[in-house]
Structure 1
C-alpha cells in the first residue's frame, strides 16, 4: 500500500518535494520500486523523473545506484554567490511592486515564525516560505523561476544554518529589517538587507559545518 498519493502531481515533482522537505537527504539512495510504492505511481514515470533529476545534478551515481547529490565547499560557495545576487534583486523589486496585502503577509510571517524558535527544521521550512513570498512579491516570473532552481539546489545541503545556536533569533530580526525596507519602498535598503541576510547565513553555515566536522 502506498504511503501517499497525489495524482495531481507528477513523479518528478513528488520526488523533488521529498528532497526539498528533507524526506530524502544527501547521500540517500533512491530505488525505483520503493519510490513507485511510496508515491503510488508506476515505475516508468519514476524512472523518467530520476533521469531528469540526474541531468539537473540533483542526483548522482554511486556505482549502479542513484543517490541524492551533495554540495562540496566550492559548489556551496558558488551557489551562495548566485543566490545573493538574485535574492537581492527580488527584494529590490518587491520594494517597488509588492502590494500592501503582500507586505502584510510578510509582516505576519515574521511575527508568527517567532513561535518556531527552538525548532530548526520547522523554522527552516518557514524561512523558505518567507523567501518565496518575497520572490512572488517581486512580480517578475523569470526571476521567480531562477530562484526556484537555486532553492532546489539549496536542498542538497545536509544542514540548515538555522540549526546554529542563536541563528534563529538573528534571522528573524533580519527578516523584520527586510520587510521594513520593502514597506518603506526603499529599494536600496531592501536589496542591502536581503544580501546581508544571505551573507550572514553563509558565514553561519560555514562556521557550523566546520565545528561539526572537527
Structure 2
C-alpha cells in the first residue's frame, strides 16, 4: 500500500479510536495541526480523515471548525432500534455458524469481564470486544460491516450505560445468557437474549439522560 494511502488509513483509524475511547467527546473541536502532531503523521492524511469522518456524520461543522458530533434523543432512539435488530440477527447467526473455538472465546470473555464490573470504562471497552466477537462469529461480512457503522456512531454518546448503578452486574448476567444460548445452538434464544440486552441498555440510557436533565433544571 502506498505510504500516503497508509497514512490516511492510519489517521482515520487513530482519530476514530480516540473518539471511541472518549478522548474526544461530543462538542470537542478537532484541529488538523494538533492531530497531526499527536499522531505523528502529516496534515494531508489528517485532513482527508477528517473529511471522511464528517461524511460519516461523526464530525459536524461549528462555523469553520469541525467538532465531534452529538446525538439528539430521536437519533439515539433510531440508532438503538437498528442496533437491537442487527445485534439480534448476529446472535442468531452465531448460534448457527460459530466454531467451537469462537464459542469458547465468548465464554472466556464473560468470565474475565466479571472482574471489571467496578470499572465502567474498562467494562465498556470489554463490552465492545464481546459484541465484536459475536459479530465475527456470525460469519456474515455484510452484517459485520453494518454493525461496525452502528458501533462507530455509538461512540458519539458521551457516557456509557454501564456507568449506571448496578448495570454492570446485570449486563454481565445478560452476556452469560447470550453465550449460553449460543453454546446450546439455540438460535431463537440467542436472538431474543441479545435483543433484550440492547433494550435494557437503551432503557438504562434513557434513565441516565432523564436524570441529567433533572439535575440541570
Aligned to 2:92: 92
Aligned length: 209
Partner of 1:199 in structure 2?
199
1:108 equivalent to 2:95? Answer no
CA distance in 2, matches of 1:8, 1:213: 39
1:18 corresponds in structure 2 to 18
Aligned to 1:163: 163
Stretches of structure 1 that go unaligned for 5 or more consecutive residues are: 1-5
Note the C-alpha offset of 1:190: 0.3
Scaled by the length of structure 1, the TM-score of the pair is: 0.95
The residue matched to 2:44 in structure 1 has which SS?
A: helix
Could you tell which deviates more after superposition, 139-148 or 6-15? 6-15
The answer on 1:36 being equivalent to 2:36 is yes
> How is 1:1-214 mapped onto 2 (pairs within 5 angstroms)?
10-214=10-214
| 1:97-146 Cα distance to aligned partner (Å, 9 max, x none) | 01111111111111101110111100000000000000000001110010
Write out per-residue CA displacement over residues 153-210 of structure 1, whole angstroms, 9 at most, x where no aligned residue. Answer: 0000011100100000000000000000000000000000000000000000100111
**C-alpha RMSD over aligned residues:** 1.2
Q: Which whole-Å CA distance do the structure 2 matches of 1:7 and 1:172 have between them?
A: 38
Post-superposition shift, 1:213? 2.1
Aligned position for 2:3: none
Displacement after TM superposition at 1:21 (Å)? 1.4
> What secondary structure does 1:213 align onto?
helix
Mapped to 2, the partners of 1:187 and 1:8 lie a distance apart of 40
How does the TM-score come out when normalised to structure 2?
Answer: 0.94
